Structure 1
Amino acid sequence: MSDPSNIIKQIIGKTVKAIRIKQGLSQEDLAHECNVDRSYISMIEVGRNEPSVTKIFDLCKGLKIKPSDFFKLIEIEYEKARESE
């Protein structure tokens, strides 16, 4: 299996981006909601930055999604990635 840490970073980024776009938010909008810089959101979305659990909770608040639902989405995508290897 590829590096699980890298796979998880990629999945977190894709999930954040998908939810953000679905809700019609720009990176700037989400960054404002989470009190972070827009470049931080960009780094997460491209999988170059792995947010802490605290930041994930902030992101979930900004995305108006429960952290438990967010982690379920991550888990589902992670299992798909593992099965495809």
Structure 2
Amino acid sequence: MGDRLFDRQRTVHEILGGGLVADVILWRQKNLTLGILMVTFAAWVVFEGSGYTLLSLVSSVLLLLFAILFIWAKSAAVLNR
């Protein structure tokens, strides 16, 4: 019963859902967990270095998407498609 938290009926792995997310949180899949941490750290370094925020990035991407969709729709109307 050493794998149970405070002598509960269910293990911590079962409480966390028992799937891939629980494996990552509990470091059972060390390579995947380390990869997620490295990508998160790299994104943090890029955002800190550039002075950009997540909100401004999302806003810029959405503005670009809307501009592309607008141009696409107008060109389809002009070309009768």
Identify whether the pair has TM-score above 0.5, normalized to the shorter chain: no
What's the TM-score once normalised by structure 1's chain length?
0.34
Instruction: Pick 1 or 2: higher relative contact order, CA cutoff 8 A, min separation 6.
Output: 1
What's the TM-score once normalised by structure 2's chain length?
0.36
Structure number with bigger Rg: 2
